[in-house]
Amino acid sequence: MKKVGIALLGLGVVGSGTYRILESKKEKIMRDFGVELEVRHVLEKDTSKAVALGIDLSKVSCDIENVVKDDKISVVAEFFGGIEPARTFLLAVLKAGKSIVTSNKELFSKHWPELEAAAKETGAGIYFEASCGGGVPIIRALHESCQGNDILEIKGIVNGTTNYILSNMSEHGSDYAETLKEAQKLGYAEANPSADVDGFDSTYKLSILSSLAFNKRVPYTSIYREGISKVTIDDIKFGKEFGLTVKLLAISKNVNGKIEAHVYPAFIPDDHPLAKVSGAFNGIYVVGDNVGELMFYGKGAGDLPTGSAIVSDIVYAATRAEHRRYPFILEAEAQDFNDDFVSEYFLRLTVKDETGVLSAITGILGKAGISIDSMVQKAGSNGKATLAFVTQKTTELTFRKALSELEAAPCVTEINSVIRVEK
């Protein structure tokens, strides 16, 4: 039976979960896939983590050279997160001809071309199933199960922290700040939550998914990004009146050969499959020209769900005679992006409570060629009222121009909220 040496770089939450799966499923993997996986080395400075897992301390060090120089190690799984030292270590093992497995979406989205170039030189493999949805098997599905399709659209909830926050706000009526504190207490959000709530994490993941889906390099810097901190309980309540649910969506589309890629909070119809993805779960909705609609759903983080995807990649890498290449990643980044995309919009305004206001606002929108699909009006106090609209489809630039005119209108006291609507 083929025996394959493995190295684990780090024994944090996911690294420890991966080791436990490798040990508990060792016999199953041998029986089902004909390969014996042996963890030969672990890079970890906190040896108590290794002791807790029953790992022989003779296999534990802080020196990457112990991995690079071990000819019996052929697959290396990285769990450090961040850019360094992960980037330096992974480049070193790739140049030594060892395949890598990672869930590090920031590193991968920023340095994929560099990693691919190093892997190409030695024929090593790069595997990253766990980078874009934890335990959700989306990566291999895109590049190995959809060959008979052009992917037209990806629409995903790929960050469990923001989905937990927005789900709680919707279900329990808590405001954003209160719900964020609760998420931090439960361990769903970091002390500094910016990577999640400001959309960076989702942007890195969308860069990877879009590049795979469209076979073009879609850098994270070309993706429009907004976070969820401006979403309020009032927005959620009005959305419910329109039959809409708010989610932080990672969206990419291939529209007439041009790529549209965005991360932002968006309303979706209550009956859309993604509207039912609650709590810290992830959901990724894919449309192919032949297969139609596909939905991938599952736990987007955690020791065992993410470890499950890591182990899947380790087994896959260990059983390949030849590894997949991604030549489009070494080419120039895609230039055919469309920033003036089409969307519907939710718009909430505080206005003067007087005759002619509604006519003035609809006149501004109508002049721009923007039609209103639905509207709710709420009486306020102090001579003010609230108007909430959902527009019909228009372009981003057209809507922004109309929004500027609304801001200048004497009857408008404040533009409270603008959220895109995906139907």
> Are residues 145 and 294 both part of a single domain?
yes
Look at residues 112, 131, 150 and tell me which one is the last residue of a structural domain. 131
The closest alpha carbon to 94, from 216, 9, 220, 217, belongs to: 9
> Are residues 146 and 92 both part of a single domain?
no
**Residues in Cβ contact with 258 at an 8 Å cutoff, skipping those fewer than 6 apart:** 336, 337, 338
Cβ atoms of 7 and 77 within 8 Å: the answer is: yes
Cβ atoms of 139 and 304 within 8 Å: the answer is: no
> Are residues 109 and 193 both part of a single domain?
no
* Residue found under tokens 């499950």: 308
Q: What pLDDT sits at residue 51?
A: 97
> Are residues 165 and 110 both part of a single domain?
no
- Our count of domains for the chain comes to 3
Look at residues 102, 131, 160 and tell me which one is the last residue of a structural domain. 131
Q: What pLDDT sits at residue 1?
A: 84
Q: What pLDDT sits at residue 168?
A: 94
Q: Which residues of 131-167 are buried (b: 16+ CB within 10 A; e: fewer)?
A: bbbbbbbbbbbbeeebeebebbbbbbbbbbbbbbbbb
DSSP 121: H
Q: What pLDDT sits at residue 30?
A: 97
**Residues in Cβ contact with 21 at an 8 Å cutoff, skipping those fewer than 6 apart:** 304, 307, 308, 310, 311
pLDDT digits 0-9 by tens, 392-407: 999 999 999 999 999 9
Q: What pLDDT sits at residue 10?
A: 97
> Are residues 292 and 153 both part of a single domain?
yes
Q: What pLDDT sits at residue 302?
A: 87
> Are residues 83 and 187 both part of a single domain?
no
Asked whether residue 97 is domain-assigned, the answer is yes
Q: What pLDDT sits at residue 320?
A: 94
By three-state DSSP, how is residue 38 classified? strand
Joined tokens for residue 108 = 């991968």
Handedness of CA 275, 277, 283, 288 (dihedral sign): negative
- What's the CATH number where 386 sits? 3.30.70.260
CA end-to-end distance (rounded Å), the chain: 52
Task: Please give the residue range of the domain that contains residue 176.
Answer: 140-299
Listed in sequence order, the DSSP H helices in 231-376 are 233-241, 303-318, 357-367
Cβ atoms of 341 and 223 within 8 Å: the answer is: no
Determine phi and psi for 34, rounding to 5 degrees.
Answer: 65, 30
> Are residues 401 and 258 both part of a single domain?
no
> Are residues 90 and 112 both part of a single domain?
yes
The closest alpha carbon to 309, from 103, 37, 93, belongs to: 103
Q: What pLDDT sits at residue 190?
A: 86
Active site residues per annotation: 205
Asked whether residue 324 is domain-assigned, the answer is no
Q: Which residues of 237-247 are buried (b: 16+ CB within 10 A; e: fewer)?
A: ebbeebebbbb
> Are residues 274 and 149 both part of a single domain?
yes
Joined tokens for residue 362 = 């609809």
d(CA 260, CA 218) in angstroms, rounded, equals: 10
d(CA 197, CA 163) in angstroms, rounded, equals: 10
Q: What pLDDT sits at residue 86?
A: 98
- Cβ-based neighbour number of residue 41 at 10 Å: 22
d(CA 79, CA 89) in angstroms, rounded, equals: 11
Joined tokens for residue 308 = 């499950």
> Are residues 23 and 83 both part of a single domain?
yes
Q: What pLDDT sits at residue 18?
A: 97
**Residues in Cβ contact with 145 at an 8 Å cutoff, skipping those fewer than 6 apart:** none
Q: What angle do CA 78, 82, 87 make, to 5 degrees?
A: 60
User: Which residues of the chain are under the pLDDT cut of 50?
Assistant: none
Q: What pLDDT sits at residue 209?
A: 97
d(CA 285, CA 29) in angstroms, rounded, equals: 30
**Residues in Cβ contact with 351 at an 8 Å cutoff, skipping those fewer than 6 apart:** 357, 361, 384, 385, 386, 387, 411, 412, 413
d(CA 420, CA 423) in angstroms, rounded, equals: 10
> Are residues 21 and 99 both part of a single domain?
yes
